Amino acid sequence: MNKYPLGEYLFSGCEFANTGKQAFVFVWAATDGKVCDTGCAWFDGGKCAAYRKLTIPAKPAAQQEPQETVRETAARLGISISEVRRRRRQTA
């Protein structure tokens, strides 16, 4: 497990960090910031939700622009559907 600052544990919703703050700080310092797999009672073999938030990187939300349909593009440009498809194949 990687090292994490105290704030990351609090932000992830760590039960140990939120309930036993003084004990958590002591364990955090003693384990060099690697609390989950070395000194936490809630770890439970990696099933802890806070542990998962810390170790699994968040997936960026891919925001795609709504794509215009072939029929809509053909109507807007005043060309045939097959011409729109031909143009899309050339640019792809």
Question: Which pTM does this prediction carry?
Answer: 0.57
For residue 81, which of 66, 90, 69, 92 has the smallest C-alpha distance?
A: 69
For residue 7, which of 31, 28, 30 has the smallest C-alpha distance?
A: 28
Higher pLDDT: 4 or 82? It is 82
For residue 54, which of 13, 5, 12 has the smallest C-alpha distance?
A: 12
Q: Give tens-digit pLDDT for 30-85.
A: 888 888 877 688 888 888 888 888 888 777 766 677 789 999 999 999 999 999 99
Q: In whole angstroms, what is the distance from residue 47 CA to residue 79 CA?
A: 57
Q: In whole angstroms, what is the distance from residue 55 CA to residue 36 CA?
A: 10
Q: Where are the domains of the chain?
A: 6-55
